[in-house]
Structure formats: C-alpha cells, structure tokens
Structure 1
Amino acid sequence: ALWYHALSVSPSWAKKLDRYARIGQHIFYTDPKRAPRQVADASN
C-alpha cells in the first residue's frame, strides 16, 4: 500500500484508489493502475 489514513478522517483522494486493507484504525490503499501483489494477511 502506498497511501493510508485513520478512520477518523475521509480524504478526497481515497475515492480514486483501491482499498487494500484495514489494520486497527487505519485504512490502506493501492493505485488501481498498478498490478496487484500478493501479501501476507495481517488480521491474525
């Protein structure tokens, strides 16, 4: 993920990106134009 923000905010740029993961109180995003990558699951 290249971008992230806390759940307490709602940035305008988030609508243009693909939501990638949520860890705790943060949401992570990737660029929809980039090829997806396989990553480890951090939700243990």
Structure 2
Amino acid sequence: MIECDASIIRIETVLPQESHPVVFYSEKLIKSQRKYITYEL
C-alpha cells in the first residue's frame, strides 16, 4: 500500500514494507501546479 499526502505546497509519498518506510518521495509544487484539484495531484 502506498501512502500519499497532497497539499497545496507539496506532494509526499511513502512506500512502507512491514511497517517500515522503504521509499520516500517528496516534491514541491510549482505555482501552476498549485491550481490543480487534489485528485489531479
């Protein structure tokens, strides 16, 4: 299961395995991307 969090400023994603994070990804959104609705992010 991938856990994602999308806010107005950034997107963060965590891939856990056996309750421990294996991969973490974070991306700061540029100004034009901040206009997207959460579903599109």
**Superposed pair shares fold, TM > 0.5:** no
> Max radius of gyration: which structure?
2
Normalized per residue, which structure has more helix?
A: 1
Higher relative contact order (CA 8 A, sep 6+): 1
> Normalized against structure 1, the TM-score is what?
0.27
